[in-house]
Structure 1
């Protein structure tokens, strides 16, 4: 029976803390001023992998022709 009372009290405390945090207004929880959000830098359009890079593919093709078509 005592376990049930402790459980109910713990749930009530959690609910009250969550309500107090959400009622803090625009300043966020517990009266802290909001942090200004930094805009994300634009993603570069660089190739992600070597086989996406046209310059790398041209160099590979050039080496392949120079070496007589050998794969390595």
Structure 2
């Protein structure tokens, strides 16, 4: 059984649950965008992996071993 995660909803929840501690509005925006993109891509990757796995545990292990290769 696989679990479906909507990347957009997941990314919004991650950003909302992790408010920036920066003072500068531009720094806050940059940090939020970076976090959103990381969360979105991670959810996309999970969805792709879980659709090819028979169980969630296998998908989580493969996801844990995945490098997203996101750099700024």
Larger radius of gyration: 1
Q: Normalized against structure 1, the TM-score is what?
A: 0.38
More helix by share: 2
Instruction: Report 1 or 2 for greater relative contact order, CA contacts < 8 Å, sequence distance ≥ 6.
Output: 2
